[in-house]
């Protein structure tokens, strides 16, 4: 065998070994990378699933927030409507009451009316808001209205001597209005039974020279008057 033949055989053997080695390397690489690819695909699938779940939770959260906001808006609107209705009812009640400088000018046959009870509530300086103590007093007074017949309520507001006559007259009206609104709304007293009289600082019940006297003048007096002739006639009809 000459050198050329030996060279060819060596070359062929080298190529064979290289081929075997190349195949083994490719097989090894495939065997090693296949799990990585499969694992990568699983991670991609898991990530997609997680993203879908996050979007689903976010959608539900947004829907819940939207529903809660709608409910809150509805409740707020209902509250606003209720407040407006109550305010309108109170305004209508005070608008419908009789207003005068005295009962003599508006009540026919006043001599037939006899006093059955009264209550007086006082106010802070330049105030026209009822306190809890005021409301408690009015509640005790109103307990007798259920048994009263043919009655009217004379509501007289007054002030101390501080301030102008016109301002005090308007303040006395606001104080009387506060009492009328409270009694009318809580005890469903018809507006026509109220006779509201604002006297400002014209009629004092105590001297305005002392703080205690001025406090007594910042008042509203409510007097329950019953028409005895009408009440007697009604009783006779029933009997």
The pTM assigned to this predicted structure is 0.58
Q: What is the pLDDT of residue 198?
A: 86
Q: With bands split at pLDDT 50, 70 and 90, how would you rate the model's confidence at 108?
A: confident
Q: For the segment 69-89, what is each residue's pLDDT rounded down to a tens digit?
A: 776 676 666 666 655 544 554
Q: List strands edge to edge, sheet with 219-227.
A: 98-99, 194-200, 151-158, 219-227, 113-122
Distance of CA 192 to the CA centre of its chain: 31
Q: What would the 3-class secondary structure string for 24-54 be?
A: HHHHHHHHHHHHHHHHHHHHHHHHHHHHHHH
- Confidence class of residue 5 from pLDDT cuts 50, 70 and 90? low
Look up the CATH superfamily of 99-238.
OmpA-like domain (3.30.1330.60)
Residues 6+ apart with CB under 8 A from 160: 125, 168, 201, 204, 208, 213, 214, 215, 217, 218
Identify whether the C-beta of residue 159 lies closer than 8 Å to the C-beta of residue 201. yes
Q: Are strands 113-122 and 194-200 parallel, antiparallel or unpaired?
A: unpaired
Q: Alpha-carbon distance 21 to 200, whole Å?
A: 118
According to the model, what pLDDT value does residue 18 have?
47
Q: If you average pLDDT over every residue of the chain, what do you get?
A: 77
The percentage of the chain sitting over the pLDDT mark of 90, rounded to a whole number, equals 45
Domain ranges of the chain: 1-96, 99-238
pLDDT of residue 3: 52
99 pLDDT band, cuts 50/70/90, is confident
């Amino acid at each position: 065998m000459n050198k050329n033949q030996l060279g060819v055989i060596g070359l062929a053997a080298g190529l064979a070994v290289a081929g075997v080695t190349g195949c083994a390397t490719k097989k090894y690489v495939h065997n090693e990378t296949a799990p990585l690819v499969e694992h990568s695909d699983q991670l991609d699938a898991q990530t997609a699933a997680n993203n879908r779940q996050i979007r689903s939770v976010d959608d539900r959260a947004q829907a819940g927030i939207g529903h809660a906001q709608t409910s809150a808006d509805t409740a707020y609107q209902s509250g606003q409507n209720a407040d407006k209705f109550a305010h309108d009812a109170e305004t209508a009640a005070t608008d419908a009451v009789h207003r005068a400088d005295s009962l003599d000018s508006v009540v026919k046959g006043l001599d037939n009316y006899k006093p059955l009870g009264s209550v007086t509530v006082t106010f802070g300086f330049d105030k026209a808001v009822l306190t809890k103590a005021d409301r408690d007093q009015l509640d005790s007074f109103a307990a007798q209205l259920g048994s009263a017949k043919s009655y009217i309520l004379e509501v007289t507001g007054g002030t101390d001597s501080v301030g102008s006559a016109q301002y005090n007259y308007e303040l006395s009206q606001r104080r009387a209005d506060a009492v009328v609104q409270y009694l009318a709304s809580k005890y469903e007293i018809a507006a026509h039974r109220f006779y509201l009289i604002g006297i400002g600082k014209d009629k004092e019940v105590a001297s305005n020279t002392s703080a205690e006297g001025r406090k007594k003048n910042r008042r509203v007096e409510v007097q329950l008057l019953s028409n005895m002739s009408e009440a007697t006639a009604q009783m006779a009809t029933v009997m």
